[in-house]
Amino acid sequence: MGDKGFLIQKPGFATTAIHAGQDPSKWKSAAVVTPIVMSTTFKQPAPAEHTGFEYGRSGNPTRNALEECLAAMEGAKHALTFASGLGATTTIASLLSQGDHIISSDDVYGGTNRLFRQVISRLGIEVSYTDFTDINQVKTAFKKNTKLLWLETPTNPLIKVVDIAALSRLVKSQGDVIVVVDNTFLTSYLQRPLDFGADIVVYSLTKYMNGHSDVIMGAAVLNDDDLHKRLRFLQNAMGVVPSPMDCYLVNRSLKTLALRMEQHKKSALTIAQWLEKHPRITEVFHPGLPTHPQHEIAKKQMTGHSGTFSFRHSGGLEESRKFLSSLQVFILAESLGGYESLAELPSLMTHASLPAEARELLGVNDTLIRLSVGLEDVDDLIDDIEQALKQAFE
Ligand SMILES: *Cc1c(COP(=O)(O)O)cnc(C)c1O
């Protein structure tokens, strides 16, 4: 199933996603499908004695089953879930203290950028932004108080691919710095950052992992016991936990992750190749295309690419508006990773919270369109793009 030249998928992924943490014998009823346990409190046989669960914030059986499954899918020891992807980010940032320093990639997810710029930095934690595709820039960004490196690959919306192994090596040579990789765009099916030296993998499960656009949730996956203990404490102490109902939905969705990602991958590449040949399209940012500047790095650390990529056309803001409002199958909306195809204009939507200069510097202008290619028939998606481009440029 591997794409040409990309890493070979480890065997057993789908089996793990379906069975890990789901053993029916852990329920008295022997339920095959993990039950939704709504109870917020659990009976204790004697004061301060418990049978694994005390109170729903500190632990819940449905949540535990999901966390076990997430860890196994990543080949990791531990996983923790949070009320949202940004809840996971907030919790990880709370490992740090006043006076510490974070290095973040410059085109990090808009919400992460906003959290770092407008909340975390107010708490006396310094954040600098660097282009992680240039390792020398990262080197010079290090300070004595650097404690954490936050990277996303591929980045959003410009789909730059960052060399996780090279960056992790550099970071480890600089001292005790935690490497966090936001793996939302690829999922554990397409990229396993822990294998390349990362310490924590963070997810917005809201996107591909859940894949049905009906849950907001986040996760952190890791091997280190001490970091896990500290994050487990923060998960409970800060109260950033997801609901049992949502845990049920995500756990259910993981059972089809491998199948869904294969289809996202195939359809997105087909559309990217079609766009590359279109006379109105000037650039296509997709890591599966040999023209992508980091195509070689992508093949080294990914088993393939997902359904999200972006492109630029030869018009201006007016053409972008016309194109987006002419789409019939693609829905004009933020987010990505669901079964339904979405299209958006990052400059006015997902990345509007970035300062204008930062947008300009990154190249997030009004002709850059981001697609999240869903699971519809690919011919219908291409026909839709074709007719919308015609309307935009008529
Ligand atoms: C959506 C997203 C987040 C934030 O996740 P929420 O679940 O919306 O809080 C973080 N990182 C990336 C790459 C995302 O796409």
| 230 lies in the same domain as 113 | yes
pLDDT digits (tens, 9 = 90+) for 146-156: 999 999 999 98
Query: What is the per-residue pLDDT for 162?
Result: 96
| 250 lies in the same domain as 223 | yes
Query: Bridge-partner residues for 220, per DSSP?
Result: 80, 202
Do residues 351 and 357 lie in contact, with contact meaning Cβ atoms separated by under 8 Å?
Answer: no
pLDDT digits (tens, 9 = 90+) for 317-376: 999 999 999 999 999 999 999 999 999 999 999 888 888 888 888 899 999 999 999 999
| 231 lies in the same domain as 263 | no
pLDDT digits (tens, 9 = 90+) for 258-297: 999 999 999 999 999 999 999 999 999 999 999 999 999 9
| 232 lies in the same domain as 300 | no
Domain boundary among 233, 254, 275: 254
CA of 369 to the centre of ligand 1 (A): 18
Q: Which residues are catalytic?
A: 57, 109, 182, 207
| 233 lies in the same domain as 277 | no
Q: Which amino acid residue places its CA nearest to atom 5 of ligand 1?
A: 85
Query: What is the per-residue pLDDT for 1?
Result: 42
For the segment 8-31, the average pLDDT, to the nearest whole number, is 96
| 231 lies in the same domain as 102 | yes
Domain boundary among 254, 276, 301: 254
| 81 lies in the same domain as 195 | yes
Q: Which two tokens stand for residue 311?
A: 């492109």
Domain count for the chain: 2
Query: What is the per-residue pLDDT for 288?
Result: 95
In order of 22, 204, 210, 212, 213, the CA distances from 216 in angstroms are 22, 8, 9, 10, 8
**Is 146 close to ligand 1, i.e. is its CB under 6 Å away?**
no
- For residue 62, the SS3 value is helix
| 349 lies in the same domain as 266 | yes
| 282 lies in the same domain as 141 | no
Q: How many Cβ atoms sit within 10 Å of the Cβ of residue 3?
A: 19
- Shortest CA distance to 303 belongs to which of 27, 43, 66, 8? 8
Query: What is the per-residue pLDDT for 356?
Result: 87
| 216 lies in the same domain as 272 | no
Report the CATH number at residue 364: 3.90.1150.10
Strand 200-204: give its sheet, edge to edge. Answer: 78-82, 218-222, 200-204, 178-182, 146-152, 101-105, 126-130
Of the listed ranges 132-136, 305-309, 370-374, 379-383, the least confidently predicted one is 132-136
Gap between the Cα atoms of 159 and 338, Å rounded? 18
| 91 lies in the same domain as 225 | yes
| 228 lies in the same domain as 313 | no
Do residues 375 and 263 lie in contact, with contact meaning Cβ atoms separated by under 8 Å?
Answer: yes
**Is 155 close to ligand 1, i.e. is its CB under 6 Å away?**
no
- H or E segment and range at residue 283: strand 281-285
Q: Show the domain range for 200.
A: 3-254
CA of 203 to the centre of ligand 1 (A): 7
pLDDT digits (tens, 9 = 90+) for 72-98: 999 999 999 999 999 999 999 999 999
CA of 86 to the centre of ligand 1 (A): 6
